[in-house]
Amino acid sequence: MKILVLNCGSSSLKYQLIDMDNEEVLAKGLCERIGIDGSKLTHKAEGKDPYVVETPLPDHEAAIKLVMNTLVDPEHGVIESVDEIAAVGHRVVHGGQAYSSATLVTPTVKKVIRDCFELSPLHNPANLMGIEACEAAMPGVPNVAVFDTAFGQSMDEKAFIYAIPYDYYEKYGIRRYGFHGISHSYVSKEAVRFAGLDYKTAKVIVCHLGNGASVSASINGKCIDTSMGLTPLQGSIMGTRSGSIDPTIIQYICHKEGRNVDYVMDILNKQSGILGISGVSSDFRDVQAAQHEGNHRADVAIQSFVYRIAKYIGSYITAMNGVDIIAFTAGVGENDGEIRKAVCDYLGYLGITIDDEANAMRGKERIISTPDSKVIVAAVPTNEELAIARQTLALVTSR
């Protein structure tokens, strides 16, 4: 059975066609600059050269049509007919409080996605456009929404509630939702399986460290806590996002600089984090290069990032009353042994020791702690597309 996985941004559309018989990626690609001059598709099919099509893509429907035509193209495609696609799995960022697992798209589901536009203005409108483009291009093919917020729905109220008047939760759903849920859920399962632990009982901490960064604690797929909040701005320090700050800072900057809240929010989302502290870049590799050359602000940015992650881990160990495995994932977490080591250096009191050789290796999932380490530490590549395809398959085959 073949599942198409879509991840739509406001002007982009990423896709993978996965054969679920062996979980092999048959083709993947990206449509860029949708609705903007210079749009193009870059398509890569297994065993074939990359294929680039530069053509106007006025909207997501045009992009989906181009993807379909490319997938069945005799030279560059991988299927004979669109009928071979059994279902489409969509990454949807915000599902509010309505969905704690993947769900078949219906008019009600689309309304919930629309109702969450305000909470996820950059992503949810694009996600819905992708769904509606598929409905138009492939009538009858089921669409499944896989929510990034679903994992966080299993948090207890004591963990997700903000200490502001309860009315705001009841009236507007203001609570912590958590994001990167598809990744946290996938990596927690993979890490436990790989380490040979019992999924039902293992206490797992996942550090998803990429341009966006978040930490989660979970047991048996139940999210005990996760670092992001109502939006992905809360939590650890990120590439350009501040993470958690004293809210008074917003008012203070507004008064000092004669700006409005929207301006400061933009600064907190796009000009802060590693970029804001270092003044060098939002990309860890650039900031680390500057750190190694003796740049003070780059050094503070990296140290502050590491310190905050270590503090999340410490607090989540308290929340779960223990930890069996800590897994690092995403761009930094998967690739950057220096950051992983620096975080684990704070955790010596737990009896964690890192195997420097394993930590220096790249690529596949691997245990990076020594055999006598009291807690297993692993680097586990995330695979959100495969997670979406698995959830989509499970849903369409159980109907």
Q: What are phi and psi of 45, to 5 degrees?
A: -105, 145
Contact of 17 with 27, CB cutoff 8 Å: yes
7 has binding-site annotation: yes
359 part of the interface to ligand AMP, by CB under 6 A = no
Q: Are 13 and 66 in contact (CB under 8 A)?
A: no
47 annotated among ligand-binding-site residues = no
Q: What residues between 171 and 230 interact with ligand AMP by CB under 6 A?
A: 210-211
Contact between 336 and ligand AMP by CB under 6 A: the answer reads yes
Q: Which stretch binds ligand AMP (CB under 6 A): 31-39, 247-255, 328-336, 342-350?
A: 328-336
Residue 180 or 390 with smaller CB distance to ligand AMP? 180
Among 285, 296, 311, 374, binds ligand AMP (CB under 6 A): 285
Q: In this structure, what is the dihedral angle of CA atoms 235, 344, 207, 312, given to the nearest 10 degrees?
A: -30
Among the candidate windows 77-85, 105-113, 252-260, 281-289, which touches ligand AMP by CB under 6 A? 281-289
- Residue 277 exposure: Cα atoms within 13 Å on the Cβ side: 25
Annotation-wise, does 246 bind a ligand? Answer: no
Q: Provide DSSP, 368-380.
A: -B-TT-SSEEEE-
Q: Which residue is nearest to ligand AMP (CB)?
A: 331
**Can you tell me which of 330, 376, 380, 386 binds ligand AMP, judged by CB under 6 A?**
330
Sorted by sequence, the CB contacts under 8 Å of residue 310 that are 6+ apart come out as 343, 346, 347
Residues 6+ apart with CB under 8 A from 140: none
Window contacting ligand AMP (CB under 6 A); options: 228-236, 307-315, 332-340, 369-377: 332-340
Q: How do beta strands 40-45 and 85-92 pair?
A: unpaired
Closer residue to ligand AMP in complex, CB, 152/239: 239
273 binding ligand AMP? (CB under 6 A): no
> How do 40-45 and 51-54 pair as beta strands?
antiparallel
Residue 88, helix vs strand vs coil: strand
Which two tokens mark 81? 């007919």
Catalytic residue among 73, 148, 198, 355: 148
175 is in an annotated binding site: no
- Does position 272 interact with ligand AMP (CB under 6 A)? The reply is no
> Which parts of 228-247 interact with ligand AMP (CB under 6 A)?
239
Q: How many residues bind ligand AMP (CB under 6 A)?
A: 11
- Could you tell me the sign of the dihedral formed by the alpha carbons of 214, 215, 219, 225, in that order? negative
255 in a labelled binding site: no
Q: Annotation-wise, does 221 bind a ligand?
A: no
Residues in the chain: 399
CB of 225 vs ligand AMP, minimal distance in Å: 21
Q: In the bound complex, what is the minimum distance in angstroms from residue 69's beta carbon to ligand AMP?
A: 29
Q: Binding of ligand AMP at residue 10 (CB under 6 A)? A: no
**Applying CB under 6 A, which part among 7-15, 151-159, 257-265, 283-291 lies near ligand AMP?**
283-291
Neighbouring residues of 364: CB distance < 8 A, sequence distance ≥ 6: 381
Residue 374 CB partners (closer than 8 Å, separation 6+): 350, 351, 352
Q: Does 316 bind ligand AMP (CB under 6 A)?
A: no
Provide the binding-site residues for ligand AMP, judged by CB under 6 A: 210-211, 239, 283-285, 330-332, 335-336
Report the catalytic residues. Answer: 148
